[in-house]
Each structure stands twice: as C-alpha cells, then as structure tokens.
Structure 1
Amino acid sequence: MTDTHNASSYDRRYRLVPIRIAVVYCVLALLWIWGSDQLSLLLFGDNPWVQTYKGSFFVLMTALILYRLIDRFAQSQRRIYGRQLALTQSYQSLFNEHPLALWLVDTAGSVIQQNHQSLAMVGEVSHLDQIFASQFHPLFNSALLSGDLSALKDEMQLANGLSVSVLARQLQFDSHTLVLVAAVDLSRERQARQQLAQSEKMMQALVSRLPQVFWSFDVASRRIEYVSPGYQALLGRDPQMLYVDAEDWLEAIVPMDRDKVARVLASGQRLRGETELEYRVLDQDGNERWIKDNAYPVTDEEGRTLKVAGIMTDITESRTQRSRIWHLSHHDQLTGLANRVLLGQSLNRWLRQGKSGFMCLLDLDRFKNINDTLGHKVGDEVLVQLAHRLRRRFGDEMLIVRSGGDEFILAAPRDLSLDELEALVAHLRQGVAEPLVIGSDRHVLTHSLGLVRFPEHGSDAESLLRCAEVAMYAAKQAGRDNYRLYSTTLSGPTLERVRMENRLRTALANNEFLLVYQPKFSLNAQRMVGVEALIRWSQDGRLIPPCDFVPLLEDTGLIRQVGRWVASTALMQLKAWQALWPGLTMAINVSAVQLDEADLADFFAGELNRYGLAGALLEVELTEGALLRDPEQALAFVNGMRSKGIRLAVDDFGTGYSSLSHLKDFAPEVLKLDKSFVQPMASDTRSAKLVEGVIALAQGLAIEVVAEGVEDEKALALLAKMRCDTVQGFYLSEPVLASALSSTQGAARLSAVSGGA
C-alpha cells in the first residue's frame, strides 16, 4: 500500500513540472509587460530605444530563468535514472543469481525472463508449457482467475521429469500483471533423504548386531530416549520398558553397584568429559555379568549438558580373564597357595597400616631326596598334600604361601606374645611332622623354620624375608628339624651363608668356576700316569678352596649341575693332553648327592664318546662315606659306571667306617690312602705299618694304591720301599692350571729317590 502511494505521488509531482514552468513564465511576462512600460516612462521618458532594450532584456532574463528551471529538472531526471539503473541492475543480479529457478511470465504464460538456475534446470524456454507438465497450465489459469496463486504452491513435475516444489507470486508493473514462478529441485533433497534413511537403516542393522548397548538419557526430563536392541540380548529385558521408566535399568544392577550408576545419571549436568564405570548386572536368569559403561555428556553452545549418551559393553569374560590372570600371578600353580608376590603386597600393606604380626619361613629338610629317588610326581604330591593340610588347619588364621621349591611361609597381622608364638610354632611343627600317605608309602617330613616378628625385625617385606631366611638357615645349622626366632646375633655367619649361596647360584653361568690339576706319578714307571681334577671358585680376584663352598653346593643340590660341568671340562682337557701324554688318566670326584642321578653313567659315557676317549681313562673318586651312606644306591651307581668301562677309586680310604667286605662288594680299581696316614709315617711306626698293610692287602686283591699327601722326600722314599703303585702330593707337584701342567719336577724327584734306594 505504501509503495503504491509513493509511486502515484511521484507521478503527480513530475507531471506538474511543465505547468509550473509555464505559470512562472506567464507571471514574469505579465509583470514585465505591466510594470516595465510605466517604469521606463518614469525613468527614461518616451524614447524608442528603451523599448528595444527592454524587450531584449526580457528575452535574456526569461531565457536564463527557463535554463535554470530546465537544468534542475534534467539533473533530477538523471538522478532518478541512475537510481533506476542501479535498482534494475540489482534486481537483475538478484534475479539471475538466485539459488531458486525463477521465471517471470505474463498472464498468458509467456516467459518474459528467466534466471541462470532455471536455464540450468530446463534450458531456455518461451512458455510455461515448455517448463511444466501439461496439467500445470490449467491450474495456472485457474489461479489467475481466482486471484489466489497459493494453489500453485505444491510439488509438481517438470516436462523433463524432474520433481520440483513450485511457488508463484503475482506482480503489478504499471497496468500489467506479471507472475513470478519459483521452483526448487526436490531430487537432491529426496536423494539425501533416501541416503539418510539408508544410512539409518544400515546403522540400525549394525547396532542391532553389535554386542554393545548404545543409550541416550535426557537430563531435563530424566528419561531414556534411546536404547539399542543389544540391551535385550545382553540382559533378556524388554528395552521398551526403559522408555516408560528409566528405573528399570537401575533395577537390573546389583544393589551394591547401583548407587554409583545412579550418581552419574544424577550428576549429568556436571559431567565434563567421558566417565567410565564398571558394575555388575543380573540377567533374566539371575546370572551376574560385568558391564563397562562409557558415558559422554552432550552439551549446548554454552556448555550445559542436555543429554548423556553411553555405550555399555559386556566385560564378563575379560573380568574373568583378569581375575584368572591376577590369581595366576599371585598364587602358586601347583598348590594353589599364595606366592611371594601376594605375600609381599600383604606384608607391606600391614606395615603401612601400622599392624604388628609374625611370619614363619618353613623349609623342608632334604626334600630333594624325595624328588630324586621317588620322582618329581611323588614330590609334587607331597607338596600338594602338605599345602592342603596347612590350608585346612591354618587358612582361617594366616596367609599361607608357597614361596618356591620346598619352602612355605605363614604370616598374619596378629600381635602375639613370645609364649603364644612358641605355642603356635609347636602346633605348626606338629602338623608338618604328621606322616603323609602317598599311594602305599608313608612320608615323614622334617623341616627347619625361621620366625620373625614385624615391625620389630623389618620395616618392609624384603627385610622381613631376609631375616626369616637367616633364622631358617640358623635352624638348619643347628641340626635341622628345628626352629629359630630371628635375632641380630644370627645375622653374621648365617647371612654370609645366604649371600654365598646366592653367589653360587650364578657362579656357573658367570664362568667363575675353574679346574686345577694335580699329577699322579707311577713309582714303577717313574713318570706321570694321571691327573686329578680339582675345582676352585674365583671370587673377586681370589681363589676359594673347595672346603668353603662344596658343602654348600651339596646342601643346595647345585653340586649336580656343577659336577657335570667338572666332568665335561676335565674330559675335554684330557683329550687335548693325549697327544703329549698318551694313556694319561683323569680322576674326578663325585659327591654322594650325585649317586641318585640315574642317568649319570650315561652322561659320563656320552662325554667320553664326545671326545673319543676310552672309559678306562676316567676314574670316578668316591669317599668311603659316600659309599656307605646308602650302600644299595652306591652299588647300583658303581655297577652303572663299570658297565661303561669307567674305573672306581675309593677316596680318603681309612678315614671312614672301613670294612673289608666293602672292598669285596664294590671291588674298586683304585684305593687312595688318606694323607692323614701317609704324612706321619716317618715319625709314626704304627702309621707306616698300617700303610704297608693296606698296600699289601690291596695289591693282593689287584687293586691299585695311590698314596695322597706326599709332601717330603722321606714319605716318598718309604712309599717306594713299600712298593706303592702311585703317589700324589705337593712334593711332586701342587695343583696347577692346565697350561702349567708339567711332569718334570715329579719325575726328577722320583728318579732321585729311586737312585738313592
């Protein structure tokens, strides 16, 4: 209405411009005619030239006035034209670049103008019939007649088959009625909707097959907006119930876990990032399942939480695996008891909590004998039964641990008096001492026990275990089958033993052992006929003698591994010496602990074969004590060696419980007279007679006699006079490294004695 009023006012104003000019001209002309004659008569009189000048002046003045009026009008017209041109250009630009397809048509349907988008859609056209399908034109005419073009606002089909949404508006230009028709291509929108529908369908199909449960919770209404089908598969509950009442979700959660889930939902407004929860739920069968729920806040532009979305994952299997892994890493696989890891964690926790208590370290005495004689299967069964007994009797009161091998530990955060501790230890020892029945055999176990109290004896698990080991080793040194309460007076020698044992366990791997060799000389042949391999331990630049570490090797069982290393190393060296001293023999010492190794004879035979050596070149030395500790076992060992051609030497003969029947039973090839008989011969007639008698007896049984400990010329001369077979001692040669072995000194001294004789 306002635009129409402004246009009519504009038209009237510019139609009056010529009239205004004419009126001004008439008024000025009349005023000039009427007034100029009177004024000229008054001023100049009746002169003819006055009329001429007056007329000329009038023409000039009116021309000037007309010029000014016409110029102003022209300037106004130019401004109007410029604005119209700008408006036209803006209109054209807006029309042509409009994102909708536009056509300006008259009432007959002829196209007056179309924009770029319409050209791209249908090309250049001259009539509506070329644009739309045939049914459009009747609708167009009907809408024009009714004056209601809103009827054309509908989805229609173009002549080229495109589906569009049409909108029409009627426009008035002067007295002409025009219609602006706009069209929107719906094919892309429909394609997008189809793609969206397909995507939603695909996502729904994927989500329905995923084991996870996807959910969305509206914070304002406190309602579940969405839950995926996996919810029913997981819990067997109808997910539709959640849309009615979100509490149905919480009811499925195990009561003790329900509060923490409810707190997350209640604090939805305060969530600032991902929140992860693990809780338990009950499925429709009442089975407990573990759920991991990752919740994410969905916020608006101002950071306010509108919704909470989440993903529920069934982690029952992983939790079970995690529990299984934790159990395996904290428990002994054989007995099911706790291991040192769990013990350390428990001790340190009790100490942090300021609790007092005790710990017993129990080590079975000579348990290796069970493993080695009856087999590891029986040994394992003994450990399992003992663990079961300890658990049954003390499991409710103490943490029971198998710390490795044949060691058990019992600990508890109970502050007991010394009397109470002694009573408990007595009860424990009695339980361990009761026989265990494995098959048809009864096994009575003895043990050594170390007892510590905390925090008195240590501020952490490591120090407590160290003190318990010191006390346990002190019990072993006291004769085994005993116990000791830790005190600082035990730490010196016992701790040194523990340290030495720990060093021995790595000595072989670190190449700390070495062999030295002491020659043996034949008095008859006047030459070196054999060597004895002797082990030494190189520790921190010094050589430790065997008497300081071999007993510990035997106690720990390490002698088995070390003994085989000695044999292999010595035979490899013997092979190298055969070129220099053909027929040279090698003697090695075998511990009593090694006699129960059923495959030891096969091992020696394998090493001999490896280096191409005859069995007769190897002598295995055993002490009388080793032979007599278990004669049946010893005899089986000797027979096994003899079957491989290996010779037996009885070492330190005369120092043990000697019996002539043993010489008959074991029938050794060599007797080695102990130096305690050989060295005093020069001053002790009884010793000389004993040595002479043993030599005569042995030679009568075709047994070679080796006299050890020959440390001076007198002893050597006496042995030569007694016709001893072989001699060995520092006077002839001390033990030396393989590179320093020589027969020169010994042979020279043998020759001197022989010449003197």
Structure 2
Amino acid sequence: MNGRRDPRVSLIAAAGLGAAVIAAALIAGGSDTAVTAVAGLVSGLLAAVSLVAASTRSTSVHRGEAVAWRWLAGGALTWLFGIGVRPVAAGTAFVLTFADLLLLVGSLLLMIGCWLTAVPPPQRRGVFRQATEAYLGAASIFAITWALLLGPMAERAEDAGAFYFTLALPVLCLLAACAVAPKVAVSRAANRAVGLAGLLVLAAITMAELATAVTRLNGEQSPTLVAGLVAPAAFLLLAVAPWIEEGSRGRVPARLRAAATPMPVVAATPYALVAAATVVVGADVFARGPALTIVVASVLAVLLVRLMVLMLSADGLRNQMAISERQLHQLAADTGDVVLMCDNEGTVQEISAGVEETYGYDPVELTGKSIFDYLHPEDVPGIQVQLRRMIEDESPQRYGTCRIECRVRAADGTWRPTESVATRHVRHEDLVLVTTRDVSDQVALRNQVTHLTFHDGVTGLPNRAYFEERTREVLPRASRPAVIFLDLDGFTGVNDSVGHASGDYLLGQAARRLRAAVRADDTLARWGGDEFAVLLESGGDAQLAVDLAERLVRAVSADPFRVADRDIALTASVGVAFAEDETSPGDLLRNADVAMARAKGLGGRRVEVFAAHMHADAVRRLEIAADLQRALLEKQFVIEYQPIVDLATNRVTAVEALVRWCRGGTFVPPEQFLDAAEETGLIVPLSEWILTEACGEVATWRASSWDIGLALNLSKRQITAPGFVETISAALADSGLPPSALTLEVIEEMLVEDAGDTVEKLSELRELGVRLAIDDFGTGYASLAFLRQLPVDMIKIDPSFVTGLGRDETLTLLTRTIVRLGHDLGLTVVAEGIERPEQLELLREMGCSRGQGYLVARPMGAQGVDSLMRTNLTSLQNTA
C-alpha cells in the first residue's frame, strides 16, 4: 500500500452516509414530502459526484465509458433539481409543472447515458425492430397497469383531459426505459453494471412518477413514503455501481464480465408482455374507455406492420437465396466443378449436370447411389472418418467444412485425382453439400515439375539432387551400401570438336549403356558434366561392387560412340566407396569422388577403391594449392638454372630454368607441388612468371656477348590457356631475347592428347623462330609420328635410358639407337641425367651432341651461372 486512500472506499462510505441521513430523517418524523426531497437530493448528488469522479479518476475506464457516465451524471443532477423544485411548484394550478419538465429531461439524459454504456452484440438488430419492440413492451405494461389500476380511476375522473395529462410524465418515462432496456440487457461492455443500474433508475423513476400521478389524481399532496424512496434507493445503487465494477475487473474473468442476457430471451420479452397484457385485459378490453382501446388497437397495428415487414423480409431472403443458389450453380458450371448433395450415409440426392462432362456419367444414373461406389477403395476409409467427424461433432464452426483429396473412377474406368470440399447443409443437418473439382491436369503438371526437378534433361536419369536425397534415405537402413563414381576420360575435347549438341547426344548414349549394365534395384544418376554415380543399396559383398565398377568401364570403352558421322572412343575412370558404421552420406559421396579422381590421375580406364590415405592426399593437395596461391602473392618462388653442355667442347650452350619453392626457409621438392599446381591451374601464372624472369636473365647474359640459350618446360594447361602464343611472344619482346635462343620442351603425352590444338599452337611458335624439343623421349608411344608432323629441333633422352648405360646392354642399345635416329633426322640430341663418368664416355662415343646432369653441373642460381659461362668445365676435361 502506498498510503493513499482509495476513492472507492470514500464514495461507498458517502453512499452509506446518505442512507444514514435518509434513515435519520425518517426517525426524526419529518413529513413524507420532506423525507422524499432529502432522500432525492442526497442520492442524486451522490450519484452525480460518483459518476463524474469515476469517469475522471479511474485508469481502466475507456473514453466512451467516461462520456456515457457523464450523461448519467447530468441526468442525475437534472432529476435532483426537479426533485428540489417540485415542493415549490406543488401549489400551482398546472397539471404538469416546471419540476415535471426537469424530471422528464433528467429521465431522457439518463436514457441517453444508458444507451451509450451498452456495447451491442455481434448480431445487431435494425432500428425499426428496436423501436417496435420498445413500443410493444411499453404499451403492454401500460395496458396491464390500466386494466389493474388506471381504468377504474379513469371512469371516476371528472376531467378526462387533466387525467391524461397527469399520466404523460410516467408514460414518457416508461417509453424511455423500454427503449434502452433491450440494448442494455444484451450489452457485452465491461461497465455493464453501470448500465443496468441506470436502467434500474429509469424503472424506479417511472414507478415513482406513476405513484405521484396516482396521488395527484386522488387529490392527495404526496405519494406514500415507500413510493417516494424507490428512486433515491436506485440512485444510491447507481452511485456505487462504477466503483464496484472497477474493483472487480482484476478478479472476475473477462468472459463473465462480458456475459449478457441471451438474445432470444430479450427478443421474446416484448411478445411475452403482449401476451400477458392480452390475458389481463381479457374479453372486456373495450369496456374500460377509449384509452385502452387506442392502446390495444395500436399494439395490434404495430404487430400487423411488424408481421408484414417480416413477411417481406422473408420473401426477400428467399429470393436472395434463390439467386445465390443459381449463381453458385452457374459458378460451379463455369469453373468445371461438380456440385452434389448427399445424405449422411453418402447416398446422392442431387448432382449437377457437370458430372457428365467431367466424368462421363448421366446425373440421373448417379442419383440414389452411394458416392463411395465411385471412390478408390484405398481412399474410402479416410473419407468416411472425415465425414463422420464433421457430421457428429457438436461444434459446427470447427468441423462444418472439411477438405477431401481422393481418386474418382470416371466412366471410362480411369482414376481421376480430385479435390473436394464437403459442407454441412445449413437447413438440413442430415444433408452434406460437396463441391468436387477434377485436378488431373494440376497433378500431371506437378508430377512433371517434380520429374524435372529430380531428373536430368539430357540423359533422362535422376540428377544429383535426387541421388543425394536417395543416399540419405538408404544409408541408415541398408547393409553396407556402396557408391560408384564414373568419369568419362577424354570427353572434354568432344564438345570442342563436334559441338555441345553432339556432346549431349554422346552422354545420352553413355547413359543407356550404363543403365543396361547396372542392376534393377541400383540407382543410376548423372552427377554432373561427364560424371555418373551409382548407388548400390545392397552392397553386401565388396566384390560385387568392384565387379559392377569393372563392368561399367567395359560398357563405356567396349565400342566407340557414333557421333556426328564419326566414331569417338572413350574410356572411364571409376571410384568405389563403401559405407562404414559412422560414415555420413556426404562423406560416402566424397570418398567415391576421391577414389574416382585417383583413378583418373593414374591414367584412367581403371577402378580404384577408396582408402583412407586417398582423402589425406586430397586434403594435402588442397592445402598445397592454397599455399601455392599464397606463395605466388608473396613471391616465395626462385629460379635455378641447370647448364646444358656441348659434350664435344665442354662449353655451356644453354641453361634449363627450374622453379624452386622456398617455404619458410625450406625448399619444397618440385614433385610435391607441380602436380597440385597443374590440377588447380596455378601452373599457368607460375609458368608465365618463370618465362618472364628467365627470359630477362638470359637476355642480360647474352647482352654480355655470351652465346647462351634458354630451355623451358611447357605444361598441358599452359598450352591450352587462352593467349598462350601471345604470352610467349610478349615475353620475348619485353626481354629482348631472340626467339631462336628459346627452346620450349613438351613431353610425348601432351602431343598425343588434344594433338590437333597442341600441334597447331606449337607450329605457331615455330613460325616465330622458337625452337622446340621433345622431353623424356622414348617413354611415349607416338613419338615418330609426331616427329614427322611437328618441326622439332631437339630430342632429350629420358634419364631412365642414361642410367643403364654401361650396365644394361638393352638400355645401352636403345640409347645408341635414339642417338643415331636423331642424327639421321638432323636433330640435336641431349642426354639427361648424366651422373657417372662411364655414362659420359659412352655418350661421347655414341656421338651424343649435348648433355646435362649432376656430373656435368648441378642446378644453380644466376650468380653461379655467371662464373660458369667464362670457363670450360675442367672437371669434364679431367674425366675425359
């Protein structure tokens, strides 16, 4: 508590004090008029003050409530003044005094306040209905009062005009009370208690004024004390009502605060009063004088008018319902829907003509038959449950409508997918209205979209998304499933040579071959590009998966593919991975991909089964690739030069540029990063940097009158890179190195793969004046053919031949043959890998032109080459 006094306590205490004052006046023995006046003044003032205070001080009162309470306060004050003036005006000769007018105005203000406190229910009634019901209620009450009380007094009255004028005020108060009573009774407002208290005040004023009128007609000065205290007592309740309501808001549930008298009870009240009035009046209704006759006649007239209005409204509603029904049928016909009416057992009572166009049935033929006879047997139990729930449940707003998806048998025997809406009939609870739509086209379109989403448009096989989803479904429940990845070797050049359309046609042929090779329960999908994947749901024995993988390799490479009037021979690289206990779907697919990459890296046309070290190697290659990219940016690469010596004169004729990677102060062997650079494409910028640096260095040496050449190795990616020839030409021009001083080396395998494009680009370089050499000569299988097609200047004998010189007669013979072949073709022959003196002696004896190796000179930096250029190799002379 904060120490502040609650105003509700003060006002309720004031009401109690007012009651005490009235009781004191009674005990003191004052006149009835004085007691009534005091009671009226005290209670009216308390009511006005209480309502104004509640409307301004209460934080829970809405603005509309505050306005209504101020109207009630104004009515209480006006009535208070009327009560105060009435004793003064009682001695006048007028039937209705100024005080009566104040009392009438006060009653009207109270009526407006009561009206404003009421919040109507969602089902509002029209003004005409409210007015007629108010009049019927007031007229019925007046008729009963007339028959029981006022009729005999009217017969004894000497002045009929004065008699009726005297009754005017209570009659008008009665009309005011009856006008607001229905609205206040059904109100759902939180301040409903205030409205009811105001209505009670109006009723009390009506009773008090009726008592006053009867007193005047009897020639007495004032009504009885009990009749005079009815209105003050009601005003005391009105004074307390807003504060009691405010104090109970936090404790009474909202649903109880908002509860109201049911609408049917309120609507029936005027007619019950009419019935009661009819019983009271009886057969001699016209014997009590013209007033009762007029009232009864007016009641009958109002009832007749009301009945006529109801009939017209009902007829209008019937017409509107008929129009709506026709519009509904027309709408159903326009949209192609079938509308039918059936009973709770599913028997068709009525069906629209659209059933003949949609399903091929005559409407007359279906009437009287069960709809379940035309539904798919698998769908019937579920539909029966839905309809039973909708029909039997007591909450129509919940189960009044249900959606049904099922298959309907058409007259041609086909099953049509449909969507239906079943609704309980508004007027007939034993009937169900069903609207059915054929959705065959939508289902077909949805299936087509699903197929396109999960299937490849080129091969017709499931696509990668479907394969991944299928793997996730199978892996938890299958017994050691396996995944096979397959890549078509050599497919890259197909699109370039015969076009993408022919390439897609080839992929379609490959898909048909692979589909014929797999088992029926295996999932074959196109993974992407020229890669395919197979999921063996029941891998079981590992040998079965390996056998299937080898069968796929044979299916691809057995016969050439016929594309664009030419035969194209392809092979396949296949990787196999098996699921272990803790293998996730993503890891299983990755493992198969890694195994396939290894098979391709080993030359293709082979099957590799995944092992743990393959993944480690793949990760290491990725790490090396990232480090390579960083090394390019940080310039961690250096160039070393290995001299090439004229074996006859012991003079250095050229140097071969070799790249070295210095990572953290340690040199990384070339075999550990060159393959990764080739795979990632970093070999292209790396080779361009080597070319620029080496050309500039050798050009500087040549500017000092050193006749020395430069040899560089070319990679496959470097040759196929865009602008390859232009890059070589630009490097020569920028450095000033003559093209004849540059020798570019290629291995035999590069001449075999993509021979046309490679030979074309090398020929362009040859036209620039650049010299060409075949590196590692003798290890390939197409060298002689390309020696005739490509103007080669030099061949370099592979170190594997030089290593066996003097120890292996076969290798010695092969080396001698290569040297003789080079001389016969007019080519310069260079022997690589010279490490022992006997190798050098034999090569000189065979007539080999040049050589390089650790015995001749090790790779060295640019400063080492500077000193080597000016002297003969004395070590060579000594070994000679």
Q: TM-score, normalised by structure 2?
A: 0.48
Q: Does the Cα contact within 8 Å between 2:799 and 2:833 map onto a contact in 1?
A: yes
* Structure 1 counterpart of 2:713: 589
Q: CA deviation at 1:413?
A: 4.0
Distance 1:255 1:577, change over 3 A: farther
Q: State how far apart, in whole Å, the 1-side matches of 2:481 and 2:666 are.
A: 40
* 1:491 paired to 2:611: yes
Deviations 1:551-574 (A, max 9, x none): 5777xxx47x55554566667779
Q: State how far apart, in whole Å, the 1-side matches of 2:662 and 2:370 are.
A: 76
1:370-389 → structure 2 map (5 Å cutoff): 371=494, 375=498, 380-389=504-513
Root mean square deviation, CA, Å? 6.8
Aligned length: 581
Deviations 1:74-105 (A, max 9, x none): xxxx9x99973433333676999999xxxxxx
Q: State how far apart, in whole Å, the 2-side matches of 1:227 and 1:569 are.
A: 84
Deviations 1:530-551 (A, max 9, x none): 984748698x998754423545
Higher normalized contact order (CA 8 Å, seq sep 6+, divided by chain length):
2
* Structure 2 counterpart of 1:280: 407
* Structure 1 counterpart of 2:193: none
Q: State how far apart, in whole Å, the 2-side matches of 1:422 and 1:700 are.
A: 50
Q: State how far apart, in whole Å, the 1-side matches of 2:368 and 2:658 are.
A: 88
* 1:746 paired to 2:865: yes
* 1:267 paired to 2:389: yes
Q: Does the Cα contact within 8 Å between 2:350 and 2:367 map onto a contact in 1?
A: no
Structure 1 portions without partners, runs of 5+: 16-77, 100-168, 682-686, 716-721, 736-741
Q: State how far apart, in whole Å, the 2-side matches of 1:665 and 1:283 are.
A: 73
Distance 1:84 1:665, change over 3 A: closer
Deviations 1:593-619 (A, max 9, x none): 569x8x76x732354688894977975
* Structure 1 counterpart of 2:216: none
Q: State how far apart, in whole Å, the 2-side matches of 1:227 and 1:587 are.
A: 93
Distance 1:577 1:209, change over 3 A: farther
* 1:333 paired to 2:452: no
Q: State how far apart, in whole Å, the 2-side matches of 1:430 and 1:653 are.
A: 32
Distance 1:233 1:639, change over 3 A: farther
Q: State how far apart, in whole Å, the 2-side matches of 1:305 and 1:734 are.
A: 102
Q: Provide the secondary structure at the position in 1 that maps to 2:167.
A: helix
Q: Provide the secondary structure at the position in 1 that maps to 2:520.
A: coil
Q: CA deviation at 1:388?
A: 1.6
Q: Which among 370, 376, 388 is matched to residue 247 of structure 1?
A: 370
Q: Does the Cα contact within 8 Å between 1:616 and 1:647 map onto a contact in 2?
A: yes
Q: CA deviation at 1:281?
A: 3.6
* 1:290 paired to 2:417: yes
Q: Provide the secondary structure at the position in 1 that maps to 2:459.
A: coil
Q: State how far apart, in whole Å, the 2-side matches of 1:482 and 1:221 are.
A: 68
1:350-429 → structure 2 map (5 Å cutoff): 350-353=474-477, 355-356=478-479, 358-359=481-482, 361=484, 363=486, 366-368=489-491, 371=494, 375=498, 380-414=504-538
Q: CA deviation at 1:389?
A: 3.0
Distance 1:625 1:635, change over 3 A: same
Distance 1:670 1:447, change over 3 A: closer
Q: State how far apart, in whole Å, the 2-side matches of 1:414 and 1:679 are.
A: 52
Q: Provide the secondary structure at the position in 1 that maps to 2:723.
A: helix
Distance 1:699 1:448, change over 3 A: closer
1:96-111 → structure 2 map (5 Å cutoff): none
Distance 1:327 1:516, change over 3 A: farther
Task: Give 1 or 2: higher helix fraction.
Answer: 2
Q: Does the Cα contact within 8 Å between 1:261 and 1:277 map onto a contact in 2?
A: yes
Q: CA deviation at 1:622?
A: 0.8
The code of the aligned residue for 2:479 comes to S
The code of the aligned residue for 1:667 comes to P
Deviations 1:130-178 (A, max 9, x none): xxxxxxxxxxxxxxxxxxxxxxxxxxxxxxxxxxxxxxx9995269979
Q: Provide the secondary structure at the position in 2 that maps to 1:342.
A: helix
The code of the aligned residue for 2:476 comes to R
* 1:235 paired to 2:318: no
Structure 2 portions without partners, runs of 5+: 1-142, 183-285, 806-810, 840-846
Q: State how far apart, in whole Å, the 2-side matches of 1:307 and 1:543 are.
A: 91
Q: Does the Cα contact within 8 Å between 1:215 and 1:224 map onto a contact in 2?
A: no
Q: Does the Cα contact within 8 Å between 1:518 and 1:733 map onto a contact in 2?
A: no
Q: State how far apart, in whole Å, the 2-side matches of 1:90 and 1:213 are.
A: 60
Q: State how far apart, in whole Å, the 2-side matches of 1:209 and 1:644 are.
A: 82
* 1:623 paired to 2:747: yes
Distance 1:405 1:287, change over 3 A: same
Q: Does the Cα contact within 8 Å between 2:488 and 2:531 map onto a contact in 1?
A: no
* Structure 1 counterpart of 2:257: none
1:175-254 → structure 2 map (5 Å cutoff): 180=298, 200=324, 204=328, 207-208=331-332, 211=335, 213=337, 232=355, 235-236=358-359, 244-245=367-368, 247-248=370-371, 250-254=372-376
Distance 1:631 1:246, change over 3 A: closer
Q: Provide the secondary structure at the position in 2 that maps to 1:267.
A: helix
* Structure 1 counterpart of 2:138: none
Q: State how far apart, in whole Å, the 1-side matches of 2:452 and 2:549 are.
A: 29
Q: Provide the secondary structure at the position in 2 that maps to 1:390.
A: helix
Q: Provide the secondary structure at the position in 2 that maps to 1:338.
A: coil
Q: State how far apart, in whole Å, the 1-side matches of 2:480 and 2:323 are.
A: 66
Q: CA deviation at 1:438?
A: 1.4
Q: Which among 153, 158, 167 is matched to residue 84 of structure 1?
A: 167
Q: Does the Cα contact within 8 Å between 1:533 and 1:586 map onto a contact in 2?
A: no
Q: Which among 667, 672, 679 is matched to residue 548 of structure 1?
A: 672
Q: Does the Cα contact within 8 Å between 1:281 and 1:291 map onto a contact in 2?
A: yes
Q: State how far apart, in whole Å, the 2-side matches of 1:458 and 1:11 are.
A: 106
The code of the aligned residue for 1:604 comes to F
Q: Does the Cα contact within 8 Å between 1:362 and 1:450 map onto a contact in 2?
A: yes
Q: State how far apart, in whole Å, the 2-side matches of 1:631 and 1:92 are.
A: 112
Distance 1:92 1:581, change over 3 A: farther
Distance 1:174 1:334, change over 3 A: closer
Q: CA deviation at 1:384?
A: 2.6
Q: CA deviation at 1:210?
A: 6.3
Q: State how far apart, in whole Å, the 1-side matches of 2:553 and 2:777 are.
A: 40
Q: Which among 278, 290, 296 is matched to residue 173 of structure 1?
A: 290
The code of the aligned residue for 2:370 comes to E
Distance 1:276 1:369, change over 3 A: same
* Greater Cα radius of gyration, structure 1 or 2: 1
The code of the aligned residue for 1:84 comes to L
Q: CA deviation at 1:503?
A: 6.2
Q: State how far apart, in whole Å, the 1-side matches of 2:790 and 2:796 are.
A: 14
Q: Which among 707, 723, 727 is matched to residue 603 of structure 1?
A: 723
The code of the aligned residue for 1:88 comes to V
The code of the aligned residue for 1:173 comes to P
* Structure 1 counterpart of 2:762: 638
Q: Provide the secondary structure at the position in 2 that maps to 1:401.
A: strand
Q: Which moved more, 1:173-182 or 1:341-350?
A: 173-182
Q: CA deviation at 1:264?
A: 1.7
Distance 1:418 1:750, change over 3 A: closer
Q: State how far apart, in whole Å, the 2-side matches of 1:543 and 1:426 are.
A: 41
The code of the aligned residue for 1:327 comes to H
Q: CA deviation at 1:211?
A: 3.6
Q: Does the Cα contact within 8 Å between 2:713 and 2:744 map onto a contact in 1?
A: yes
Q: Provide the secondary structure at the position in 1 that maps to 2:611.
A: helix
Q: CA deviation at 1:218?
A: 8.0
The code of the aligned residue for 2:417 comes to W
1:558-597 → structure 2 map (5 Å cutoff): 558=679, 561-562=681-682, 564-566=684-686, 589-591=713-715
